Amino acid sequence: MESTFLPTLDFAKQLDKEDTLSHFREEFYLKPGTIYLDGNSLGLLSKRAEKTLLESLDDWKQYGIDGWTMGNHPWFFMAEELGKKLAPLVGASPEEVIVTGSTTVNLHQLVTTFYKPEGNRTKILADELTFPTDLYALQSQLRNHGYNPDTHLVLAKSRDGRFLEEDDIIAAMTDEIALIVLPTVLYRSGQILDIKRLTEEAHKRGILIGFDGCHSVGSIPHSFSDWDVDFAFWCNYKHLNGGPGGVAGLFVNRKHFGKLPGMAGWFSSRKDKQFDLELTLTPAETAGAFQIGTPHVLSMAPLIGSLEIFAEAGIENIRTKSLKINQYLMDLIDTELAGLGYTIGTPREDARRGGHVYLEHKEAARICKSLKENAVIPDFRAPQGIRLAPVALYTSYEDVWNAVQILKKIVVEKQYEKFENTREIVA
């Protein structure tokens, strides 16, 4: 990262002039007078995503049932076409990626497929800092196999409540572990795990390993195929701006092609056989086999337009700006918020941090409410975290500068005191 830094508005404006991705900001609907720093929870709507959604609505209007094979974006092949567009972002071949389901449904599908307890290997390894939906799914999978999650879901521990040490995770890869499911990026602190190393260590021990990429896909490059990851899953509505509740994605390493999906449905079929409607499934010979039911076409359609932007911007360029603008945010926090009770809970090293900054304060819930009153959109994560996500495609350096000045004013003027220090219904 560049060493030059000045905590001035003029410096922020100069960085914006030098930003090679700044023109993509015009692609998005940004509410005037508002600074949006919550793209790691829900990305903003782009004009192209709106366009492709409306085109799919028009296909329905114009073609009715024939929209499955006709129109702007034929529905029957939409999941596969989106998989091709997503593949470069996760470092996979087009056949290894499919857009389907939701994060948790896809996790259930993959665990049902790959968790095969046998002999002494009956346990699943996860971690105590992962997003809880993954733990809920793993607990239910264990119960379905007749195991007690209290004894059979092994959680790698954090030494400080913020980060995980790869050495600790590897030490937990005992001969009792049948499957490992870990995050690529920790949802609170933004720490990136060493996916390549963890995969190599799991495979040395004969353990399959998969990753939850919800907080990394669209903000950092991946090499799932080259790293030999067995499977991965993620949502498309955070950094990929696919829309609220948008259809998720999954990756299955081609070495597992031909394995029957644990939960099959008619969209698990090989495309040329699907409408034969035979009583026995002929599964797709790609990641498409891990689809289950009819795709949610109108929730997939915005992703078509969104991924066009990613193809033009380039994930490496997105990562470069993301690192730079998040470093700028941390530099501002260090200089402008010193002595005000704020602590950065995100790794400082470029290689260890994802696309957001985790800012801690004992009054975090109240500060988040006050930020919204000041037209800055963050999100709160218990117990005392403020997540701030400057997104490479639409956040400006001037946005970041202004947000830090507001964070300062809120504490100096004690604006937060009018609010209760509890989260809102949706944090």
Annotated binding site: 103-104, 131-134, 212, 215, 237, 266, 294
- Residue 391's contacts (CB-CB under 8 Å, 6 or more residues apart) are 39, 40, 43, 44, 219, 239, 322, 355
Q: Which of 39, 5, 81, 131 is nearest to 318 (CA)?
A: 39
CA–CA separation, 202 and 214 (whole Å): 21
- Residues forming beta bridges with residue 185, ordered by sequence position: 192
The three-class DSSP label of residue 328 is helix
CA angle 345–363–351, rounded 5-degree value: 10
Give, for 137, the enclosing helix (H) or strand (E): helix 132-144
Contact, 330 vs 346, CB < 8 A? yes
Where are any strands of DSSP class E within 90-230? 97-99, 123-127, 153-156, 177-183, 208-212
Q: What residue has token string 């031909």? A: 258
CA–CA separation, 244 and 100 (whole Å): 15
Q: Reading across the β-sheet that carries 177-183, which strands appear in turn?
A: 97-99, 249-252, 231-234, 208-212, 177-183, 123-127, 153-156
Instruction: For residue 189, give the amino acid letter.
Output: S
Q: Which of 14, 28, 38, 19 is nearest to 394 (CA)?
A: 28
Q: What residue has token string 């403020």? A: 386
Instruction: For residue 203, give the amino acid letter.
Output: H
Q: At what angle do helices 9-18 and 397-412 cross, to 10 degrees?
A: 150
Q: Which tokens is 27 given?
A: 């692609």
- Residues forming beta bridges with residue 250, ordered by sequence position: 98, 233
Q: Which of 81, 83, 57 is nearest to 71 (CA)?
A: 57
Contact, 100 vs 290, CB < 8 A? yes
Binding-site residue set for pyridoxal 5'-phosphate: 103-104, 131-134, 212, 215, 237, 266, 294
